[in-house]
Amino acid sequence: MPTKRKKKEFFELSEEMACLSGPSLNLGKIDFSKLKEYFWEKLIAILGSVSIIVLVLIFVFLLKDGLPLFGKISIREFLGSGIWRPISTPAEFGILPLIAGSLLVTALAAVISVPLGVGCAVYIAEVANPRVKETLKIVVEMIAGIPSVVLGFIGIIVLSAWVKDFFNLPTGLTAFTGAIMLAFMAVPTIATISEDAIYSVPREYKEASLAMGATRWQTIYRIIIPAATSGILAAALLGIGRVIGETMVVMMVCGNAPVIPKSIFEPVRTMTATIAAEMGETVRGGGHYSALFAIGVTLFAISFVINLAADIVVRRKGAKA
């Protein structure tokens, strides 16, 4: 009997020791999945912070060289004057014609490119058969890869001559010509992102619409496109961003006349073309030099406002959805 009792006590003691040692052994195990997740979270946070810091530094760099101009002229005169004569005596730095030219060309290009890009995306995603779909995707990607200087050359040689003859104009280098070329550049971006937005719409939406007796086209414009509105707006935003920041094409085909346009068939000069064309002719630290950097600050602010407005619209659309 004492022997059996001792054996029983020994087994109970062994079980207690195992229970006590279990947690200490588990503490030694490393959860590699959580460690990996932690690493990627921190890496993404660092990269996001770096991008914000770089953006702030760019803005500070522009301000540093652009602000000295406003010791010579007022902001109101800079933004509101219609005369840009940076090398005259006295120099005049009114950028209203440059702002008007940039906004006119951008608006025209957006009016042309957004419907074409969205229509192309709808056709590729919902209408085209697989063979045509793959061919069109390749063509769109090839168009996106054409250098802007090549498009500018085509605009000067081909499109400007056609615009001049068709509309009976004294010159084909106009805002309309530049808008067509910029729209051609923006369509691949808008089409690609809009197509992804359409593909992201749940398949159940389409199936439910067809099951209720709607036709394919009714399903596309009443169900699929409204459901993909946020992505389509984001695509339009990126397309407009590509347009407003383009330099080479507008410098080659828009005529480079720093005057406020009265119609879309007149030559214009954009802010980006002005910076590119005149930066090499300036004296570092001079008034002309500071004016070009001030134009860069203005362009930065316009781009920021457009992005902010589009982001607000996308968020509201997403919240309603």
pLDDT score at 20: 47
- Quote the Cα angle for 236-239-241, to 5°: 110
- Please give the average per-residue pLDDT across 204-219, as a whole number: 87
Q: Band of the pLDDT at 27, cuts 50, 70, 90?
A: very low
Within 8 A by CB and 6+ apart from 282, the residues are 288, 289, 292
| Beta-strand runs (E) in the chain | 84-85, 92-93
- What was the pLDDT predicted at 102? 92
The predicted-structure confidence for 254-264, as pLDDT tens digits, reads as follows 988 888 989 99
Secondary structure (3-state) at 268:
strand
SS3 state at 252: helix
**Any idea which of 117-121, 174-178, 217-221, 264-268 has the lowest mean pLDDT?**
217-221
CATH assignment, 96-283+306-320: 1.10.3720.10
Q: What confidence score (pLDDT) does residue 15 get?
A: 53
Residue 4: predicted pLDDT: 52
267-307 confidence digits (pLDDT tens): 999 999 999 888 888 888 888 899 999 999 999 888 888 77
What integer pLDDT is reported at residue 218 of this predicted model? 87
Q: Can you give the pLDDT at residue 177?
A: 94
